[in-house]
Chains A and B, each alone.
Chain A
Amino acid sequence: MNLLRSILIRIAYAVALLIAVIVLNFTMMYLAPGDVADTIAQASGGADPEVMEAIRREYGLDQPFIIQLGTYVGKVLQLDLGYSFFYNQPVMQLMLDRLPATLLLVLTAQIVALIVGVLLGVISARNPNGISSHFVTLFALFGYSAPVFWTGILLLIAFSLLVPLFPVAGMRDVTLEDPSFFTQVVDVLHHLVLPAFTLASIFLALYSRLCRAAMLEVLGSDYIRTAKAKGLSDRQIVYKHGLKNALSPVVTLAGLQFSAVVSGAVLVETVFSWPGLGTLALQAIIARDTPVILGILFFSALVVIMVNLITDLVLRTIDPRIRTGSA
């Protein structure tokens, strides 16, 4: 019951948030100087004024603000995200085409970062003054402070040019002739390595640092001493009693990071020409392609809301205190 109620409250918040996202973003896009007619003129190498007027008329950009907003909200309520001004394709279709690439990239990067980050965190927490701990700290700091586009380009130069192990760009090799399903999977994974590693490097740094700190705190607490006194093995103490308790801040952070599906991946996608939502969002902003921008923001808001909900549920499972509301 308790669970159902909190989910319902969440949904109510979600609807309010989505409406706010649409209205706010629409207003901001409206207030920004210039519009898609300018960027179409740019792509065209110039355009006569009457052509630009025609474009504005066709897309309703000559209408007053409130009518434009009303029309858009009305369409969204009917689950119609409209047509891209710039590409004349349905926004939904453009997004759905790009979504799998971004999901694949972000999920892989997150999973790699979580597993490796937690492991590194545990290793360095077990011996906080050892060499391995210093190495992890250094590695984490480097991963966190190096800009991803820089890391990405360095990796490209190293592993696509000097030692050409991986392809430069894109997500698949379209010159393969009649590839089997297996070949295609291997091909995509081959393209995935560098961008996923680049994206993982930021998250990895966060998770390992956080996990290290949480583990240090947990390992110093009373119940760990009790466990030791009971004569449990080191392994059991660290992974069963220690890690399980240290994990909740990591999960919370992972949830938060996850919501950055679009924003976090933009740079990595751009460097590696990964055909995902991030590059679409960037292009749409540059092109003043309002329907696409709003569609992506709408989708991002949805993801944030859903991930927060899931994070809550996961935290309930690993931390009983949250379940009873006493924490």
Chain B
Amino acid sequence: MNAIFKSGLAMLAAGTMLATGTIALAEEPVKGGTLVTVMGSNPRNLNPAVQSGIVTGFPGAQLFAAPLRYDEDWTPQPYLAESWEVSEDGLSVTLNLRKNAVFHDGAPITSKDVAFSVDVIKEHHPFKGMFAPVESVETPDDHTAILKLSQPHPALMLAMSSQLMAIIPQHIYGDGQNPKQHPRNNTDVVGSGPFKLVEFKNGEHVILERHDDYFMEGLPHLDRIVMRIITDPTARAIAYENGEVAFGAFESLPRIINRLKNVDGLTVTPEGYGAIGPLDWLAFNTTKGPLADVRVRQAIAHAVDKNFIHKALMLGTAADAKTGIHPDSPFYEADVPDYPLDLDKAAALLDEAGYPVTDGSRMSLTIDFGWPGVKPQVEYVKAALKKVNIDVEVVASADFPTWAGKMGKMDFDMSWDTVFNWGDPVIGVHRTYVSDNIAKGVWSNTQGYANPKVDEILAAAGKEGDPEKRKALYSEFQKIVAEELPVYWTNALPYHTVYSDKIGNPPLGIWATSSPIDNMYLKP
């Protein structure tokens, strides 16, 4: 990660940061103060139980608590659940809830609320897979919730984080209204987390204040959080630079990241996005034409210079990604086939696959993209493939829904795509590779990739309780897909967190701002 700090100036700045950071560690966190932070888009609503995504994730994780939270090493920590145990057969997970936990309206948080939340999430959350094996939730007493599973489901551990499992009050959301459209998702929110809602003004801000009866002793430190909504990345950059905003996450434009790295008093870091796990890749439609041949896909990978993408397009801000699992994940396998730039090998593979050069061209393909930010990537692919005599036509979609519609119907040859891991591979990785999820809308298996062996490995990994065995299964999976290339992964999306010297304990765990920032404080 630190290799990313390139220039001497940035080094120097990082050095100073480190020094002040060490002092900060010795310091006691300070109570009070208003944090002014920023979001790049407008949340649909503030209830993560029904609305996934990083935009709702930030305010959602402050308003609502989850059973578990995570440190930087992917180790679960007690949160709303004081302790937990998984039964020997892996078929029941017992959560022992804190006895002093109350919602923002003062009502106690009980196991009934946990059971209710699981029901709501199972029915209304966009990710069906993460709680699918949960058959029922038993509530022997107010502070014990037992999740009964139809099969062992290790993904449940990461699914019990704030981003994916908000504990919502039954006495508010259980009134018979559709939870997805519940008026209390936006106004008068009664949550279980460290901060209470003061005001959500669409297009302007979300304002939160300290929940005085929060169940974590002595937390949160901040009195108030103002989340300003500034959609223009340049305006956000100026706001960090002139000090109007002290903290923000999910900045992804390389030019802006590099500019902010050189600003005194700001730290810019790619740490903390492992569980979000965003990956950029070149997707292939493996069901038709030349791309159905694995050799053609490998040839394209050899012709596309990742180095160019990393240096010229991402300007050194992005980490390499070689498989469908994010490089920060404990399941990442770096020892997989890779495809260094080799035009001769690419040409040989294309010849072998039966696509010789005739009239200066081997084949014509199209490449789609759905949002303007990745136009340089697709234009580069077009230019790179020209060198191995593949003609590429760039197809720009008018907007996201148009592109999503084409992807969902697999109406494309190649496309640029960005997909998130969302914690456990079961939630965000399997969907791209398993054969029973082919062409089920955007970000399903839109490659039409089907390999019974991969299906088998992923099914086994999904219910393997032993972490070592599980890791071995995912390694095997990554080696196979890196060989067969249903997609060609180029890099991790360069999400960065920006914070000023005034910030203590920024969220650099695995969930970035989709985790509670009850530890964060403002230095005097």
Contact = CB atoms under 8 A, between A and B. Distances in A.
B126 A41 contact: yes
Contacts of B399: 34, 286
B502 to A, nearest CB: 14
Nearest to B52: A44
Contact of B201 (A35, A43, A168, A275): A275
A245 to B, nearest CB: 44
B402 to A, nearest CB: 5
A33 interface: yes
B238 A161 contact: yes
Nearest to A269: B203
B440 A169 contact: no
Contact of A169 (B129, B180, B207, B235): B235
A161 B260 CA distance: 13
Contact of A48 (B207, B244, B404, B440): B440
A96 to B, nearest CB: 12
B55 A169 contact: no
A174 interface: yes
A283 B441 contact: no
Nearest to A53: B441
Contact of A273 (B51, B231, B241): B231
Interface string A73-92: 00000000001001111000
B151 interface: no
A170 B401 contact: no
Given A38-B400, A43-B53, A275-B203, A283 B42 contact: yes
Given A87-B202, A156-B234, A42 B239 contact: no
Contacts of A212: none
A38 B405 contact: yes
B457 to A, nearest CB: 22
Contacts of A47: 52, 126-127, 441
Interface string B115-142: 0000000001111110000000000000
A170 B204 contact: yes
A51 interface: yes
Contacts, number: 171
B232 interface: yes
Interface in B427-449: 428, 431, 440-444
B441 A34 contact: no
Contact of A167 (B232, B244, B422): B244
B126 A280 contact: no
Contacts of B441: 38, 41, 47-49, 52
B190 interface: no
A59 to B, nearest CB: 10
B127 A270 contact: no
Nearest to B404: A38
B151 to A, nearest CB: 19
B181 interface: yes
A164 interface: yes
B45 interface: yes
Interface of B: 34, 36, 42, 44-45, 51-56, 124-129, 178, 180-181, 183, 185-186, 201-205, 207, 226, 228-232, 234-236, 238-239, 241-242, 244, 398-402, 404-406, 419-420, 422, 428, 431, 440-444
Interface of A: 32-35, 38-52, 55, 58, 83, 86-89, 94, 97-98, 153, 156-157, 160-161, 164, 167-171, 174-175, 270-273, 275, 279-280, 283, 286, 288
22 contacts: A38-B400, A39-B400, A42-B400, A42-B442, A45-B54, A45-B420, A46-B431, A47-B126, A48-B128, A48-B129, A88-B181, A97-B203, A153-B234, A153-B235, A160-B238, A167-B244, A169-B230, A170-B204, A270-B231, A272-B235, A273-B230, A275-B203
7 nearest CB pairs, A to B: A34-B401, A47-B126, A44-B52, A46-B443, A38-B401, A48-B128, A44-B126
